[in-house]
Structure 1
């Protein structure tokens, strides 16, 4: 799930050219076909755009002809302002059951809302699709305020964000994760098995033969995990929907904590003794040196190390399940098992002396996995916990990790570099944890910006320049005339409560001292288009905007001078303000 978080959609740090944006009917194209008592609605989201799953509403004219739609699994998106969201990319198919006795012809209303990844959010938009008994596909009627001809969206980018990142990157990540697990105590039970199987060759053993046998052993281990990955991928939609429930997420977070504590050796997760003995007996009955024997023993060994690697394996399966891709699931688990088995191949080929000796460093690696898993548990539970509790949990984790790294231990002049590096890292984590506590006590509610309120106190200039609200073209024209008479430039900000980039501009750009100083030279107007009324649509249409954020800058002569669409960093925005205000 951490990997899912890393693939979450992020807003860019530059303004957008309005001409590059698609109208809503093209960005979020829709078609419907009828088959008996069911409809199949196809949403085709253009590349570079996404839809919010929870803002899709389906109705009919006449009313009450459609049942509850069956929505496909969605990708998780961690949003700093709205919490956990679920979004769609590419082409999506939604099955809609029809009520008994539904007429041959009626209208399907599909209300949806989405954003461009460039940082512009669209107002809610309704497709009105004609459904006929013929069962053919019917495209959206164009009753949108922009007008224009309906066309299908661009070819979908695909539903898997993994595909956008590339298989090489993903499989490499799983390979490294498996290699990291190899350098823990999980590897201990496999070392004597590999040694005994390869030792069956006796004096005839060569490095080439040792490599082949150890590779076969690892293939048996890897293919067992591959099968598990394929199953996780095939059941991906079911897993994803089920895992989105609050009770399930919080339970999974609690289990992640239990798994993490086991990585600190507070207790041991292992197979029952009777089963371990039976597996050991089966191992002893297999003669070494034979290819099929070695391969089968590798497959059986997956059961031996399974409980030990259960925590990171559960994490990997959660990620694979979220993709719903069986081919990816098998390949990813295969790569992870190869990483886990790489040291075994080295031992089988060159002997045990090629690997580092066991020691405390293996416990450090294992503890590192534990810390990461505790962090993941907090991250998973964040949308369902109070913000103050989330900040407190992060503070506890960071400060606890700092203590275990020796942040407050006394070092002597003879201390090794590793100890000094550990203390430096521990002090850094302590400062980060302390920032969470300070932010919590100051009233902050976002762990990403714990000191935001404190920093904002030094940038109060923006607060002295409040926006004047407007809601119609007539009000805008009146304010423009007043500003022109006073010889002052005017700034019109299009805003909405559902606009992520709007909130980023308001919290990260407007309060900056340089920006606030230049904004003080403008008459500041704000058109809050949250309700998306007819008057709001008319305002947006006047400037050819599809949705907020959009900032129109007027010169002292009352004419439009510049416009800023999408999130814009403070330095660039201040420069544009300066060009208009002079």
Structure 2
């Protein structure tokens, strides 16, 4: 698996590290958005004025009440941050273990079933709750202990009581971080912290400005509508996990057109619901559509129409890049199972031999069947009219799938010993190319691109997510260095 790379040090020279930092903040933002959505659910929203009033009224000094409310908000953030820490233990065992977990066929199927289960709870067919004894014990502890520790137990009580609404959203956050580029554990910590920050924000703000409580809308049927919309979104996300399992397992069940067709049906169903054409068990009769509900219905209808136009090839679906299966994974016969129909090799040695034969440089593409950002790069950057011909005509593309669970032939299975002395079994394609990437290029994330000459000279720095001009210049510089 080890390569004798020439000019290896060029891989990281001047490498842009902003992308990883930006990704962490994006995940934090998505977690924060999830927390804001959770605030609008009937499990959390009514607790805001009650809890803030408790702190402001039950403290002798106004300043003491504000401090307690702020402390309460801090503990909410801390609780969700702490919930993410155990996932870092997995990463310390094997650099690839979290990627292996995230792309595991059976785990993705489990995610699919869990999300469907969550969706129907949002539709009102049953309630998801943690054992009431947990909440009672935490509430009793907060009353008995008092002080800072008592406030902490109150925050734990909120997390438990609100689980029926926050659980499905947190499940989506957990699933979403496994689809994002970078380290899964770090992504999860960023997302969970963002989620906790959004939940804590109103308690801090309303404690500082209690007069704002009067401007809060009253609890009501609109919160039920929020839960139903979340239910439709949960089903849509559940399909992504079923698609991951289908792609990694090479089952050929959920092809691109079928996937999009189901999303279109969901979009139509959600639009009709928002327009009041039918209702779910916990819905009250719709006498008049609110402005917010009308706007959401029109947005849903527009998005559904966009998908219909994409399936019929009237327009592309770049806004959805990475979520549906790749275009070559189609119910219609395709000339190639490589990105954009470009001829590619899926074995490094075969690709290297051909590159030497035709004397062309190599574009080494570490990718994955379930890699969202890989599809975004292929469909948004590689497809560009200036980038596409550079790759197609000037490079030999070697795409190595680091999540492909297909077993290697017995005579190709082996044990690999790292410099630390640790031995790893290499039994399938994912283990082979994932370890190959880690050992030779010091990276485990995808997409990850390297330019090599036929004699294994590194031609440029490695690159990951990129915009069109940067990627085009990166390819051209590799060609110049090859000459």
TM-score range, shorter chain: 0.5 to 0.7
SS at match of 2:85: helix
Supply the RMSD in Å over aligned alpha carbons.
4.5
Whether 1:343 aligns to 2:202 is yes
Q: Is the 8 A contact 2:76 2:156 kept in 1?
A: yes
Match of 1:219 in 2: 74
Alpha-carbon distance, 1:157 to partner? 8.9
3-state SS of paired residue (2:240)? helix
Q: CA deviation at 1:228?
A: 0.9
Q: Which residue of structure 1 lines up, in the alignment, with residue 385 of structure 2? A: 569
1:339 deviates by 0.5
Q: CA deviation at 1:279?
A: 3.6
Given candidates 267, 274, 277, the residue that maps to 1:405 is: 274
Q: Is the 8 A contact 1:406 1:422 kept in 2?
A: no
Residues 444-495 of structure 1: per-residue CA shift (max 9 Å, x gap): xx77879x999xxxxxxxxxxxxxxxxxxxxxxxxxxxxxxxxxxxxxxxxx
**1:390 to 1:343, Cα distance in 2 relative to 1, 3 A:** same
For 2:98 and 2:271, the matched residues in 1 are separated by 35
SS at 2:9 equivalent: coil
Q: Quote the Cα distance in structure 1 between the aligned partners of 2:352 and 2:133.
A: 72
Which portions of structure 1, spanning 4 or more consecutive aligned residues, are displaced by more than 6 angstroms?
A: 156-162, 436-439, 446-450, 527-531, 570-573
Q: Quick one: which of 541, 546, 550 aligns to 2:362?
A: 546
Who is 2:339 aligned against?
500
Contact 2:27 2:187 in 1 (8 A): no
Distance 1:159 1:430 in 2: 37
Structure 1 residues 376, 365: CA separation in 2 closer, same or farther (over 3 Å shift)?
Answer: same
| Structure showing the higher strand proportion among its residues | 1
Does the C-alpha gap of structure 1 residues 428 and 408 become closer, same or farther in structure 2, counting only changes over 3 Å? farther
Residue of structure 2 in register with 1:209 after alignment: 64
Cα offsets for 1:115-139 (capped at 9, x unmatched): xxxxxxxxxxxx3xxxxxxxxxxxx
5 Å matches for 1:80-99?
A: none
Contact 1:260 1:371 survives alignment (8 Å): yes
Query: What CA deviation, in whole Å up to 9, does each residue of 1:235-279 have, x standing for no partner?
Result: 355444234221221121111111122122221111223334334
Q: Normalising by the residue count of structure 1, what TM-score does the alignment of the two structures yield?
A: 0.48
Provide structure 1 residue ranges, at least 5 long, that are not aligned to the other structure: 1-57, 59-109, 111-126, 128-139, 143-148, 440-445, 455-495, 504-526, 550-564, 574-582
Q: Which runs of 5+ in 2 are unaligned?
A: 247-252, 279-287, 314-323, 366-380, 390-483
**Partners in 2 of 1:528 and 1:332 — Cα distance?**
36
Larger radius of gyration: 1
Helix, strand or coil: the match of 2:11?
A: coil
Partners of 1:253 and 1:378 within 8 A in 2: yes
Give the match for residue 152 of structure 1. Answer: 9
Give SS of 2:12's match: coil
Aligned in 2, Cα 1:308/1:163: closer, same or farther, shift over 3 Å? Answer: same
What is the match of residue 353 of structure 1? 214
Query: As a proportion of its length, which structure holds more helix?
Result: 2
Residue 427, structure 1, aligned to residue 301, structure 2: yes
- Between 348-357 and 178-187, the greater mean CA deviation after superposition: 348-357
What TM-score results when the alignment is normalised by the length of structure 2? 0.56
Q: Contact 1:190–1:301 at 8 Å: present in 2 too? A: no
Residue 258 of structure 1: aligned partner: 117
Distance 1:314 1:162, change over 3 A: farther
Match of 2:30? 173
Work out the CA distance in 2 between the residues paired with 1:347 and 1:340: 12
User: Mean Cα displacement is larger for which, 175-184 or 384-393?
Assistant: 384-393
Is the Cα contact below 8 Å between 1:218 and 1:295 reproduced in 2?
no
What's 1:294 paired with?
Answer: 151
Maintained 8 Å contact 2:33/2:198: yes
Q: CA–CA distance in 2 between the matches of 1:335 and 1:263?
A: 22
Report the alpha carbon displacement of residue 402 of structure 1 after superposing the two structures with TM: 1.8
Superposed CA deviations along residues 264-310 of structure 1, whole A, max 9, x for unmatched, are 222111122333433444444455xx444323422443233234311
Match of 2:57 among 199, 219, 227: 199
Residue in 2 that maps onto 1:123:
none
1:479-498 matches, within 5 Å, as: 497=336
C-alpha deviation, 1:567, in angstroms: 4.7
Deviation string, structure 1 residues 83-102 (Cα, Å, up to 9, x no partner): xxxxxxxxxxxxxxxxxxxx
1:504-527 Cα deviation digits (max 9, x unpaired):
xxxxxxxxxxxxxxxxxxxxxxx9
In the alignment, the residues of structure 1 paired with residue 364 and residue 19 of structure 2 have an alpha-carbon distance, to the nearest angstrom, of 29
- Tell me: higher relative CO, structure 1 or 2? Use CA pairs within 8 A at least 6 residues apart: 2
Of 354, 371, 386, the match for 2:254:
386
Report the CA distance shift for 1:157/1:386 in structure 2 as closer, same or farther (over 3 A): farther
From the superposition, tell whether residues 219 and 249 of structure 1 become closer, same or farther in structure 2 (CA, over 3 Å). same
Q: Deviations over 1:363-394 (max 9, x none)?
A: 33333322222111111111413316424422
SS in 1 for 2:130: coil
Distance 1:407 1:168, change over 3 A: same
Cα pair 1:263 1:370 within 8 Å, conserved: yes
Instruction: Go from structure 1 to structure 2 and tell me whether the alpha carbon gap of 1:152 and 1:258 turns closer, same or farther (over 3 Å shift).
Output: same
The equivalent residue for 2:165 is 308
2:53 matched to 1:235? no
Q: Distance in 2 between matches of 1:534 and 1:346?
A: 60
How many residue pairs were aligned? 335
Q: Give the equivalent residue in structure 1 for 2:230.
A: 369
CA contact (8 A) 1:178 1:340 kept: yes
User: Could you say what secondary structure the match of 1:267 adopts?
Assistant: coil
